[in-house]
Amino acid sequence: MTKARGKLIVLEGAEGVGKTTQLRRLADTLTARGVPHRGVREPGGTAIGNQIRHLLLEPGPGFSARTEALLFMASRAELVETDIRPALARGEVVLADRFFLSTYAYQIAGRGLSETEVTAANRFATGGLVPDLTILLRLSVAAALARTDSRGARDRIESASDDFHHRVAEAFDRFAEPTWQRSHPESGPVMAVDAAGSVDEVAAAVLTTLEQTWPETFRPAVGSHS
Ligand code: Z5A
């Protein structure tokens, strides 16, 4: 019997909304429930992807918006080919810290690149892989900044202008709209979760979203205590 394909679940949102924290929490819960899974992050997650991540985020020579977009998608291409697709084929749940919606928010809305061209380039990079679900963590810009500023120095993209971050934040807001999702099938379904609560509260909301969408995969087995 062929194994059922796994699920690609993406956590998205602007910097500081709590994606990495929630991805770890979710991974712990899936471990406790015996659900095979793996976590990946973008950019990075592979040997070449980690080198690209360094180029993209660390201070260094500047590059054009097109080069930036292609580097993000090169990192994604490698991750999809060598890690995500094999894991999905093994029937695992893949938890991704960012995916194409980040390119949409930062490179299309933020940098002003062509939606048609970047979407086509992304399709080439991913071979047409679409997330099964994106959980969009929503938090006010001020609250998210307060969380990231406690961390110290900003990276190359975090240091961009306020206008840029405004356009990015507006784009993330649009992703939650059903009309936007219907006209952007390459992004897959998106469900918004309020990220303003405590880590435990947000983790419970994320888990509930997944349990309601796929009870057979995410609900604890009868007799389990997790
Ligand atoms: N980028 C792009 O431009 N195009 C693309 O296609 C892709 C990415 C894929 C990646 O940066 C950068 O690349 C990113 C977008 C761009 N840049 N920007 N700007 P990254 O991987 O280094 O970082 P990030 O993705 O922006 O993640 P982040 O800043 O670390 O944010 P986060 O993962 O959403 O948050 P966190 O690390 O889980 O939490 C941040 C802090 O808040 C931390 O101290 C936590 O302990 C705290 N926290 C988390 N949750 C809570 C709650 N609920 N209450 C209180 N405090 C909390």
CA–centroid distance, 214 to ligand 1, in Å, is 26
* For residue 43, cis peptide bond before it (omega within 30 degrees of 0): yes
CA–centroid distance, 19 to ligand 1, in Å, is 6
Tell which atom from ligand 1 comes closest to the C-alpha of 195. 53
Say which residue, 160 or 42, is predicted with more confidence: 42
Q: pLDDT digits over 101-132, tens only?
A: 999 999 999 999 999 999 999 999 999 999 99
Of 110, 112, 79, 107, nearest to 10 by C-alpha is: 79
Q: Whose CA is nearest to atom 50 of ligand 1?
A: 18
Tell which atom from ligand 1 comes closest to the C-alpha of 98. 9
Q: pLDDT digits over 2-36, tens only?
A: 668 899 999 999 999 999 999 999 999 999 999 99
Residue with tokens 């840029």: 164
CA–centroid distance, 193 to ligand 1, in Å, is 16
Is residue 1 predicted with pLDDT exceeding 60? no
How far is the CA of 211 from the CAs of 26, 33, 193, 217, in angstroms?
12, 12, 14, 8
Q: Whose CA is nearest to atom 5 of ligand 1?
A: 103
Domains of the chain: 7-218 (3.40.50.300)
> Do the beta carbons of residue 84 and residue 128 sit within 8 Å?
no
Q: Which residues of 153-179 are buried (b: 16+ CB within 10 A; e: fewer)?
A: eeeebeebeeebbebbbebbeebeeee
pTM, two decimals, is 0.95
Of 211, 153, 154, 13, nearest to 23 by C-alpha is: 13
Is the CB of residue 181 below 6 angstroms from any atom belonging to ligand 1? no
Handedness of CA 83, 86, 88, 92 (dihedral sign): negative
Which parts of the chain are beta strand (E)?
7-12, 37-41, 93-97, 133-138, 190-194
Give the tokens for residue 74: 């090169």
